[in-house]
Amino acid sequence: MQKYFITKNDLKNHIISGDDCHHISNVMRFKVNDRILVSDGEKNYLVSLKTISSNEVSFEIIEEQIGNVELPVFVSIFQGYPKADKIEEIIKHGTELGASLFTPTLMKRSLFKLDPKKKEAKLTRFNKIAKEAAEQSNRNIVPLVDDILDLKKIDFSSYNHKILCYEENAKNNELTNFKRIISNLKINDRIAIVIGPEGGIDDSELNYLKSIGFTPASLGPRILRTETAVFYCLSAISYEMELKK
Amino acid sequence: MQKYFITKNDLKNHIISGDDCHHISNVMRFKVNDRILVSDGEKNYLVSLKTISSNEVSFEIIEEQIGNVELPVFVSIFQGYPKADKIEEIIKHGTELGASLFTPTLMKRSLFKLDPKKKEAKLTRFNKIAKEAAEQSNRNIVPLVDDILDLKKIDFSSYNHKILCYEENAKNNELTNFKRIISNLKINDRIAIVIGPEGGIDDSELNYLKSIGFTPASLGPRILRTETAVFYCLSAISYEMELKK
């Protein structure tokens, strides 16, 4: 069922405003009395549409939906800024897979050069992608795409597990670090995952991250592309913590 | 290190022929005495380049590389043919993640209409994507992209585990089927995974697959896009079987 995230104010007034109205009326072509889900980021409601225009949609609440579909841990992806539009693919699929926060991270081997004039527009677009992916995958919350930051300016102190995806470990047949951490996670743990850009992690970055408590870890014996590494980490965390035997 | 898959005949003659020569000389711009990996799909060799042109490259074998990076099970992805170029993304990342065989599968809700005149060109392109992804991820073998087949014409009799990724199970909070199968896999098991196209699996397809031994399984509580489901399955199998605590 289609889901839309709305503001607490719109929820109180039983309306949907902004771009979603266009989506409801012209893209999905919903009709009066059709049912959708709305969420204020805390609770989900099954609602019935009462009036529809491309500027405003009003609804009636049928019932609150019970059920949490969020990962039981807070996973924050610090993604070395990759080439082309890969960051969008990472935000889209990473949102479906349950990430809570994305930080596009400038690293030494990022080929991406940040144009300060375009930054705000980029962040707006990234957060829109996260919102749409959260709606499509029926998330309870919309993950935040944070500011584009230099690796060494990021404060990792709030995380109790810190993993650096490091392909040199794959070449050296290290296959224990990732699973040892993930299989010991507890509910509400906070995990920071750093993933290098296409060119990988620079030695000074590796040493810096180790010095602040990151564990370099391989994701199996094959060499994964940067975007594939994100999907691997989040899928493995879901498999470990959400699926049951 | 860059890797190229070559024919057994080229390996015997210590040459590389075809498109890879262009890649070696003009894309990677390797020089004489640079080292690369070559594989005949069975063994990997570290070689040193002796002569380089865009038509033919010759090399000297330095040593055989020991080490298997293949998943210990045979995973075959039967992918409901999706929209646009998603099938290429699935083959690319699925190869990195260790799949052995891909079968683009025509299902009732596939929006893709097969143009028989374009089929051969498509399969050639898909297999080229698999070869390049296998080289990039340092696989020992290149997975095959099989013919584009109708679901009901596929022979699944060689598989000892059969999983249907089924999002209705996610909605019904079924979270045990996938992990029960994956956590009990044995080395050399053969796993068939069927994933629907964007519109999902039709009821008659669901009933057919159940009748031939498929277990419908959710991949956690969120609704995944078709391509994300493939990445989830393969990542979870690697995490379960290749990583150690």
What pLDDT, on the 0 to 100 scale, is given for residue A113?
84
CB atoms within 10 A of CB B192: 25
Question: Exposed/middle/buried for B228, CB within 10 Å: 0-12, 13-18, 19+?
Answer: buried
Closest Cα partner for B128 from B14, B18, B245, B239? B18
Chain A residues inside the 8 Å CB shell of B236: 235-236, 238-239, 243
CATH number belonging to domain B74-241: 3.40.1280.10
The chain A residue lying nearest B237, using CA atoms, is: A236
Q: Are A174 and A218 in contact (CB under 8 A)?
A: yes
Chain A residues inside the 8 Å CB shell of B2: none
What pLDDT, on the 0 to 100 scale, is given for residue B169?
78
Closest Cα partner for A218 from A232, A207, A204, A208? A232
What pLDDT, on the 0 to 100 scale, is given for residue A85?
87
Q: Residue B119: CB partners within 8 Å, gap ≥ 6?
A: B148
What pLDDT, on the 0 to 100 scale, is given for residue A167?
86
Q: What is the distance, to the nearest Å, from the Cα of residue A60 to the centroid of all Cα atoms in its chain? A: 30
Chain A residues inside the 8 Å CB shell of B180: 245
Chain B residues inside the 8 Å CB shell of A97: 222, 224, 228, 232
What pLDDT, on the 0 to 100 scale, is given for residue B121?
95
The chain A residue lying nearest B168, using CA atoms, is: A1
pLDDT surpassing 90 at residue A173: no
pLDDT surpassing 90 at residue A199: no
- A with B: how many residue pairs have Cβ under 8 Å apart? 130
What pLDDT, on the 0 to 100 scale, is given for residue B68?
81
CB atoms within 10 A of CB B118: 10
**Mean pLDDT per 10-residue interval, chain B, length 245 residues:** 91 94 91 92 90 94 87 97 92 98 95 89 96 93 95 96 91 89 96 95 96 97 95 98 94
pLDDT digits (tens, 9 = 90+) for B147-170: 999 999 999 999 999 999 998 877
What pLDDT, on the 0 to 100 scale, is given for residue B179?
98
ipTM score of the complex?
0.88
Chain B residues inside the 8 Å CB shell of A93: 225, 227-228, 231
- Section A227-242 average pLDDT: 97
Q: Tokens 């009636």 sit at which residue?
A: A60
Rounded to 5°, angle at Cα B173 from B169 and B174: 55
- Long-range CB contacts (within 8 A, 24+) of A90-93: A90/A226, A90/A227, A90/A230, A91/A126, A91/A129, A91/A130, A91/A133, A91/A145, A92/A129, A92/A130, A92/A132, A92/A133, A93/A133, A93/A227, A93/A230, A93/A231, A93/B225, A93/B227, A93/B228, A93/B231
User: Is A223 in Cβ contact with B96 (below 8 Å)?
Assistant: yes
Count helices and strands in chain B by DSSP H and E runs: 8, 12
Closest to A231 (Cβ–Cβ): which among B180, B235, B240? B235
pLDDT band, very low/low/confident/very high, at A52 (cuts 50, 70, 90): very high
What pLDDT, on the 0 to 100 scale, is given for residue A111?
84
Residues of A with CB under 8 A from a CB of B: 67-69, 93, 96-98, 136-139, 173, 175-176, 178-180, 182-183, 219-225, 227-228, 231-232, 235-236, 238-240, 242-245
What pLDDT, on the 0 to 100 scale, is given for residue A123?
96
pLDDT surpassing 80 at residue A66: no
Domain boundaries, chain B: 3-65, 74-241
Of A239, A240, A242, which to mutate for an interface test with B (greatest number of B Cβ within 10 Å)?
A: A239
The chain B residue lying nearest A244, using CA atoms, is: B176
Question: What is the value of pTM for the model shown?
Answer: 0.89
**Is CATH 2.40.240.20 the right assignment for the domain spanning A3-65?**
yes
pLDDT band, very low/low/confident/very high, at A194 (cuts 50, 70, 90): very high
